[in-house]
Copies of this chain bind each other. A is one copy, B any other.
Amino acid sequence: MEIYDKIKVYADFFNHEIIKFLSKIEPGILREASLHLIKSGGKRLRPFILSKIAEYYGVDIKDSIPAAIAVELIHNFSLIHDDIMDNDQFRHGVKTVHVEYGIPYAILAGDTLFSLAFNSLLNLRRKFPERIVRKAVQELAETTYKLSVGQGYDMFLPSTNFFNYKLYYKTIINKTASLYEASCVIGAVLGKASSKDIKNIRMFARNSGLAFQIYDDILGVFGDEKLTGKPVGNDIREGKRTLIVIYAIKKSNSQLKEKILKVLGNKNASEEEIREVIDYLKKINSYDYALKKAIYYNEKAKKYAEKLPKDLAKFLFEFSDFLVKRRF
């Protein structure tokens, strides 16, 4: 079975479990708001990778369900709150939760999923020893803090004059890579993997997550509107401090730099101005630079995977390639 087909089979399975777990939420309107985004779709990649890694270490998929649900709920909590903060109107082709239910219920739906993630995770205690449960909880708790830090920088940086590679990597390590990393690590923790294996799995996931996000950033600037579902140059209009923009600012003379800064984060910039900046970015090789970095981190991820048991390594190779290529 191709990895994409495997993912689909698992997604159906997890959807059933997640919806069952959330059916207890009350009052009803809060339950509906909490389920809105989940029911709109999604590949459940975090539950998938968590359960698959646990499986490679001998854990029955049924036993990893509480953890798989937990990482997906945290993912959805952060999407719901991020959509309010970023004032996004659509996701997965449906209205965002705050557009459909209003900001108060959207905030509360996010909080509900956040708390239920930890409640779900604690259900691991029925099958796993206290220390394993605590380690999983700790991994998830540390990650939820990282998500806040990442979103904090993502919101803060566009209002500054900082164009800094280090802050870029800090943002995406926290905002994107961390929950993917936690999903992989929790899978390994449930499987009682050695601390050496856990470290390699962590570094695999972090680098694979970086590669994924850099590809995503490339799409956000150069991507086809029909494929990304977002207006061309969306990240330019929002003033995002992506690798592409940082590289361009560093490589341009002061005149060209000023030209970029005039458009970057300018909500009133015309289509033509945006298009002009994108053409310029391509011309000075921002695209090539970012693509090279994405490939670099994907290869780096694989180097860590190589140190793991052969079957697991093979699977992680496949998964990382799938992750970074799936939207091209």
By a beta-carbon cutoff of 8 Å, the part of chain A in contact with chain B is: 25-27, 29-30, 81, 84-86, 103-105, 107-108, 110-112, 114-116, 118-119, 122, 125, 129-131, 133-134, 137-138, 141-142, 144-145, 147-149, 151-153, 155-156
Cα distance, A133 to B114, chains bound together (Å): 19
CA of A144 to CA of B122, assembled, Å? 14
Known contacts A81-B107, A130-B130; is A29 also within 8 Å of B156 by CB?
yes
CB <8 Å contact, A134 and B125 = yes
Which of A30, A107, A133, A155 has the largest number of chain B CB atoms within 10 A? A107
Q: Which residues of B contact A130 (CB under 8 A)?
A: 129-131, 133-134
Partner of A115 from B86, B112, B147 at Cβ < 8 Å:
B147
Copies in the complex: 2
Cα distance, A137 to B156, chains bound together (Å): 32
Q: Are B152 and A27 in contact (CB under 8 A)?
A: yes
Interface of A: prevailing SS: helix
Bound-state CA distance A256–B249 (Å) is 70
A144 with B27, Cβ < 8 A, contacts A103-B84, A134-B133, A151-B108 known:
no
- A85 engages B108 (CB within 8 Å): yes
Residues B112 and A85 in contact, CB atoms below 8 Å apart = no
Closest 3 CB pairs of A and B: A115-B144, A130-B130, A85-B104
Most B-side CB within 10 Å, residue of A30, A111, A133, A153: A111
Q: Cβ of B30 and Cβ of A152 under 8 Å apart?
A: yes
Residues on B with beta carbons closer than 8 Å to the beta carbon of A122? 134, 137-138, 141
Shortest distance from the beta carbon of A228 to any chain B beta carbon, whole Å: 23
Chain B residue with the shortest CB-CB distance to A152:
B30
B118 x A148 contact (CB < 8 A): no
A105 and B154 alpha carbons, distance in the complex (Å): 11
Pair A119/B133 contact, Cβ less than 8 Å: no
